[in-house]
Amino acid sequence: MNADRREAVADLPPSAKLVFVVLENHERLTQAALAEETLLPQRTVRYALEELRDADVLREELNIMDARQRFYSLADAEEPTDDTAVGIASESSAQAR
């Protein structure tokens, strides 16, 4: 699966590739944490996240403790889509409510 994800980002801009590599090395991060880790401006990180979302390699989770925040991680076919037991919900399940 890792090779499939890398193929999906091969044609993306360098900022999206950098965010992808950082997410490979971390379980999940907020947009602010990604900006800090990559040293990219917030706007560039937001654009990179959009590109990764469009490539279907990004998982976005709502922080139910602070709805202003989202967690980002790399999508994996084996992952469950709802982790409400640990205080987070996937974006799709949060919109269904």
DSSP string of 54-87?
A: HTT-EEEEEETT-TT-EEEEE--TTS-S--GGGT
Q: What is the pLDDT of residue 96?
A: 43
Burial class (CB in 10 A: 0-12, 13-18, 19+), 28: middle
- The answer, yes or no, to whether residue 43 has pLDDT greater than 90, is yes
Q: What is the pLDDT of residue 34?
A: 97
Q: How far apart are CA 51 and CA 58, in angstroms?
A: 9
What is the mean pLDDT of the segment spanning 25-37?
Answer: 94
Q: What is the pLDDT of residue 91?
A: 52
- The answer, yes or no, to whether residue 62 has pLDDT greater than 70, is yes
Specify the higher pLDDT residue, 4 or 12.
12
Q: How far apart are CA 3 and CA 25, in angstroms?
A: 15
Q: What architecture does CATH give domain 2-96?
A: Orthogonal Bundle (1.10)
Q: Is the pTM above the cut of 0.85? A: no
Q: Could you give the 3-state DSSP secondary structure of residue 41? A: coil
* H helix or E strand, kind and range, residue 5: helix 2-9
The pLDDT confidence band at residue 97, using thresholds 50, 70 and 90, is very low
The pLDDT confidence band at residue 1, using thresholds 50, 70 and 90, is low
